[in-house]
Chains A and B, each alone.
Chain A
């Protein structure tokens, strides 16, 4: 594993808004971020129905390959959960099940108290409007500029133009891209593209944000800025589930960690690290 602590920050990501000094290492910046997050005011989310409930969920592909095996899990509203595990451990299956891209072979999934099993195909789009998604490869629409990419998430709901024109600049301001509205994805850096995708995911203010290795394609420094953004979103009361391979990030943040191994849930710690402590 690369010792990223040793990497000096030569180019602080101008857009990340982190006032940290240039000489801090990435690890220190992450630690600062964690500390800041501890102290920062959070929107308290009332208990009640959990955000996500998995009950003995098994997913088998083609009757042979096991994606998930007998996983039970409960994630409360407003929580932050790191989902860790090697490639092939079932992280992607987990995420695709939550989005109802796939249906479980056995077991049940409830999101916001609603069973996905009884959700009609035609209502899946409604479900997805209430779940923000951030992916490793950003998944932006290539032929649309920043503004249009974010606006699309509102257009699919049939939102009126004047409302869209109000919300989009606001969220792009929040992610620090107010000056790049008319850039196309290929004209943006990786960090900037990920900010666009976060803006798109969050513009609806969904109660749940799912991130599939959001920093996987970004350099270590840029990823700090992205994490800061995601933390801020979490503090507004949004539940965040984040699959990641970033050992340092998980270790520094000391949040709930759910570890998968060959489809099984092998660890669920309140304030865990990347590997068992």
Chain B
């Protein structure tokens, strides 16, 4: 095409001439992308949080008071040999160390009155794959030197299994929500643009009678959709930014979290939303156009 600017001029003209539809489409994109942004922010935050928890899953083997040094090192060796355990991920925590760690975690009032150190020594193994925690635990359970009973070997705190199960659920829910939102966005935009095109189907008919090819008619419409999408995306990003600044102190997802789990960075989210908006607009109008070009 000799004059690519022509189509942009055509698109902008159409946007101006159909201001109500333009506003409707833009606001649709704005709302959808705003919620999409919120979901992505929370979703990635939760995902990071779960991931963090997961990597924290450890197998702890409490050692019997009477365990011999030989027995202790045998247990350590067994853990180290396990392929599910991180290399160099096996640490010996002595009785004294365990006590010091506990003192750090728990308020003074709790341990002040305890005169003797009640904690056993232990092996702590970090895992390559947290879902294997149960098997790793089983491999050392009952070894001589390990404490007997169900609590002799623990993994990842009480709730490791539940946590892991929940992680999968959370991921699925967030992913599903984002998908549903994206689909409804396309449907909404397609519908808005369908109304706009329907109102202008006579115009399209005339264009075709004068000898405009399909793409010549379609391109301004698609550009129109893209511009609406882009506009909506920019507005939604602005709105998201404002929301984040306002809610910074109340939302864990908004600020850097002390436990190191972050939501997706805003500078990364912004171009993603721009892209999503533009694509939504283009797809929405492109898909809708097809039906009206058969003149």
Contacts and interface: CB of A to CB of B under 8 A. Distances in A.
Interface string B196-208: 0000001101111
A140 interface: yes
Interface in B1-42: 1-3, 6, 13-14, 17
Interface in A138-169: 139-143, 152-153, 155-158, 160-161
Contacts of A160: 2-3
A125 B212 CA distance: 6
Given A139-B206, A141-B207, A125 B213 contact: yes
24 contacts: A99-B209, A122-B213, A125-B211, A125-B212, A125-B213, A125-B214, A127-B211, A128-B211, A129-B211, A133-B209, A139-B206, A141-B203, A142-B203, A143-B14, A152-B207, A152-B212, A153-B211, A155-B6, A156-B207, A156-B212, A156-B213, A157-B211, A160-B2, A200-B210
A101 interface: yes
A136 to B, nearest CB: 13
Interface of A: 99, 101, 122, 125-129, 133, 139-143, 152-153, 155-158, 160-161, 200
B287 interface: no
Please name the 8 residue pairs, one residue from A and one from B, whose CB atoms are nearest each other, closest first: A129-B211, A128-B211, A156-B212, A125-B213, A143-B17, A139-B206, A153-B210, A125-B211
B295 interface: yes
A129 B14 CA distance: 24
A2 to B, nearest CB: 31
Contacts of B202: 139
A157 B1 CA distance: 10
A129 B216 CA distance: 13
A272 B240 CA distance: 75
B80 to A, nearest CB: 70
A128 B208 CA distance: 8
A152 B213 contact: no
Nearest to B294: A121
Contacts of A200: 210
Contacts of B17: 143
A236 B216 CA distance: 30
Contacts of A153: 210-211
A152 B210 CA distance: 8
A126 B209 contact: no
A128 B210 CA distance: 6
A123 B285 CA distance: 24
Contacts of B205: 139
Given A101-B295, A155-B6, A156-B216, A141 B211 contact: no
B13 A156 contact: no
Contact of B210 (A122, A126, A142, A156): A156
Nearest to B210: A153
B6 to A, nearest CB: 7
A157 B206 CA distance: 15
Given A139-B205, A141-B206, 7 more contacts: A125-B214, A128-B209, A143-B203, A152-B207, A153-B211, A156-B210, A158-B3
A125 B213 CA distance: 5
Contacts of B208: 125, 128
A122 B217 CA distance: 13
Best-buried of B6, B211, B212, B295 by chain A (most CB within 10 Å): B211
A116 to B, nearest CB: 15
A104 B173 CA distance: 55
Interface in B74-130: none
B2 A158 contact: yes
A127 B213 CA distance: 11
